[in-house]
Structures are given as structure tokens and as C-alpha cells.
């Protein structure tokens, strides 16, 4: 693979409604193609999406940043935070 270097710093936000809609796979494809870093601010439940993306990315430039919130309950972030007794602060994410 070539030493691809983007001309400008860009940020991408992968989103979709529902579980198993392909967000994790698309994130891995974007990270691999652009040598982009990966960060999921809030992880609710296991397995961690960061681990999955990391297992799919083969370039050595992508960095994987820890979640700001790692919640136990597998639910939407607001529902998981409530169930886990955690208050999410937007200044932390």
C-alpha cells in the first residue's frame, strides 16, 4: 500500500440508526483507506467496537483512542448511562 497522506485534516462521523447496521465495518474501512485514527467516545456493552475495528485495520498509522465512557449495559448511550448510574458530560467527549 502506498504512503497515502491526506492534503488536509478531516474528521468523519460514522452514524446509523440501529444495531448491526454496519457502523463498525464502515469505520474500519475508512480508517484503513485513509490511515485515519479511530475513536468511539461512548461504548455501551461488549464487545468493544474499538477492538473489532483494530482487528480489521492492517495499516500501521491508524491509532486507536480509548473511549471517554465505557458502559456495561448494552443499550443506547443515554439509556446505558442511566442504567449504569453514569452522567455523561459533553465536555468529556
**Angle between helices 23-34 and 49-56 in degrees, nearest 10:** 40
**Catalytic residue list:** 40
What are the beta bridge partners of residue 44? Answer: 71
Instruction: Report d(CA 29, CA 20) in Å as an integer.
Output: 16
Helix H or strand E encompassing 44: strand 42-44
Amino acid at each position: 500500500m502506498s504512503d497515502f497522506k491526506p492534503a488536509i485534516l478531516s474528521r468523519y462521523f460514522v452514524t446509523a440508526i440501529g444495531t448491526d447496521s454496519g457502523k463498525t465495518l464502515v469505520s474500519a474501512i475508512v480508517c484503513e483507506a485513509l490511515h485515519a485514527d479511530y475513536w468511539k467516545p461512548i461504548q455501551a456493552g461488549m464487545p468493544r467496537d474499538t477492538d473489532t475495528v483494530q482487528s480489521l485495520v492492517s495499516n500501521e498509522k491508524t491509532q486507536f483512542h480509548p473511549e471517554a465512557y465505557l458502559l456495561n449495559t448494552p443499550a443506547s448511550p443515554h439509556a446505558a448511562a442511566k442504567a449504569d448510574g453514569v452522567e455523561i458530560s459533553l465536555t468529556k467527549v
